[in-house]
Amino acid sequence: MRELGIGIIGTGFMGKAHAFAYRAALAAFPGIPVPRLEMIADVDLALAAKAAHQYGFARASGNWKEMIADPKIDVISVTTPNTFHKEMSLAAIAAGKHVHCEKPLSPTLADSLAMAEAAEAKGIVTQVGFNYIKNPLLKLARQMVEAGELGDITGFRGIHAEDYMHDPEGPWTWRIDPSGGPGVIADLGSHIIGMARFLVGPIAEVSADVRTVVKSRPVSRGAKERKDVLVDDVARILVQFGRGCGGTIEANWIATGRKMQLGFELTGSKGSLVFTQERLNELLFYKAGSDAKTNGYVRIETGPQHPPYGEFCVAGGHQLGFNDLKTIEMGEFLGAIGGGPKAGPDFREAYEIQKVVEASIASSKARSWVKV
């Protein structure tokens, strides 16, 4: 039975999510190579050591380059802020490691392309953390689109809105440092753009309004001194898909009240789907042409009939959570390394998503449609 030595760089929000997922991956996906939890690295060694203990990894390091150099490590997760993604990923690729990198892949399109090309040249497996499309109901949605159950697709309305930046008195943070690239359109927008691509296919052209609503923020909570905000906090985009239909996409991190409004309404000539991550175990499906008296939106609840739900629980109705989606993501990634089907989204796909982001920003500046 093949084993894969796992390393994680970073111990924050996503570092923890990756650790949970690697620990659970084999339990959910018996056929994948066995993940051997080798090392966690963090610039703060104490944090790394604490994480390694807590998440059951064998070793800790205060220097991520040790991980790159370690021959027992086959797979590296990069979960640091995105300004570090390129350097770490390229080093890992150069060392022949398979790389999972959190999104956004990098602050600039050029860097992301370089990362994708390096990985492809080296023939290693990459993946980027677009976890929400790992939902079994999203897989079902895609199958339904592909099978023509919705007829011709006539529209897609997508949104990813949260409110963690809604308070104008909320302080300036690294998240809005422009050296990290654009703001909400990269952070949340990339999720819903990726979801749109996953379901409907490539986006050909955009006309966008990308703006900064909260113009300045205190340098710290309660401080009088304020600092200008140089990245966007709302993006609204008209999209033209390559397959011919239109749609809209919104990314918004000042959407007061919303904690996870990542959702869409996808309409076709014969049916439609409605989804929101706020109720991630439900998918609404309308099929035209049924008996009019009893027709309407069906609330589909996730169950074992929607793979790979059954790997987590044999009975329907028990529900998956966010960490389970992350486990599916890692299970598929390790499976692909083991020779299984290509899982994705890989670096190339992340680059394609970023192209839509950049085209939207360009469109907003030019106040016109821009080809992706």
The one-letter code for the residue type at 78 is: V
Choose which of 2, 44, 53, 58 interacts with a copy of itself (CB under 8 A): 53
- Give CA–CA dist 277/263, Å, rounded: 6
Contact 52, 75 (CB under 8 A): no
Tell me the closest approach of the beta carbon of residue 20 to a copy of itself, in angstroms: 6
Query: How many CA atoms within 13 Å lie on the side-chain side of 343?
Result: 27
Q: What is the DSSP letter of 92?
A: H
Footprint on residues 131-190 left by a copy of itself (CB under 8 A): 140, 144, 150-152, 154-155, 157, 159, 162-164, 166-168
The window from 178-186, 233-241, 334-342, 344-352 that contacts a copy of itself (CB under 8 A) reads 233-241
Site string for a copy of itself, 269-288 (x = CB under 8 A): xxxx----xxxxx---xxxx
Residues that bind a copy of itself (rule: CB under 8 A) add up to a total of: 99
The window from 53-61, 88-96, 114-122, 180-188 that contacts a copy of itself (CB under 8 A) reads 53-61
- Give CA–CA dist 82/220, Å, rounded: 22
Contact 100, 6 (CB under 8 A): no
252 counts as binding a copy of itself under rule CB under 8 A = yes
Footprint on residues 313-342 left by a copy of itself (CB under 8 A): 313-324
Choose which of 2, 3, 13, 148 interacts with a copy of itself (CB under 8 A): 13
The window from 100-108, 183-191, 252-260, 337-345 that contacts a copy of itself (CB under 8 A) reads 252-260
DSSP 219-246: SSTT-S-EEE--S-SEEEEEEEETTS-E
Task: Enter the tokens of residue 309.
Answer: 């739900």
Contact 198, 262 (CB under 8 A): no
Footprint on residues 98-117 left by a copy of itself (CB under 8 A): none
Choose which of 78, 185, 195, 255 interacts with a copy of itself (CB under 8 A): 255
Tell me the closest approach of the beta carbon of residue 105 to a copy of itself, in angstroms: 20
- Give CA–CA dist 210/360, Å, rounded: 7
Choose which of 33, 38, 55, 352 interacts with a copy of itself (CB under 8 A): 55
Tell me the closest approach of the beta carbon of residue 94 to a copy of itself, in angstroms: 31
19 counts as binding a copy of itself under rule CB under 8 A = yes
- Give CA–CA dist 103/32, Å, rounded: 24
Choose which of 88, 254, 334, 356 interacts with a copy of itself (CB under 8 A): 254
Q: Cis check for the bond before 178: say yes or no (omega within 30 of 0).
A: no
1 counts as binding a copy of itself under rule CB under 8 A = yes
Task: Enter the tokens of residue 89.
Answer: 């990923």
- Give CA–CA dist 139/129, Å, rounded: 16
Tell me the closest approach of the beta carbon of residue 218 to a copy of itself, in angstroms: 15
Specify the residue for token string 């600092």.
Answer: 227
- Give CA–CA dist 344/125, Å, rounded: 9
Contact 127, 333 (CB under 8 A): yes
Task: Enter the tokens of residue 187.
Answer: 């952070």
Taking the least distance from each CB to a copy of itself, the nearer of 55 and 351 is: 55
8 counts as binding a copy of itself under rule CB under 8 A = no
Counting every residue written for the chain, the total comes to 372
The window from 39-47, 66-74, 93-101, 266-274 that contacts a copy of itself (CB under 8 A) reads 266-274
Other beta carbons less than 10 A from residue 282's beta carbon: 15
Tell me the closest approach of the beta carbon of residue 280 to a copy of itself, in angstroms: 6
75 counts as binding a copy of itself under rule CB under 8 A = no
Tell me the closest approach of the beta carbon of residue 202 to a copy of itself, in angstroms: 17
Taking the least distance from each CB to a copy of itself, the nearer of 12 and 201 is: 12
Tell me the closest approach of the beta carbon of residue 109 to a copy of itself, in angstroms: 23
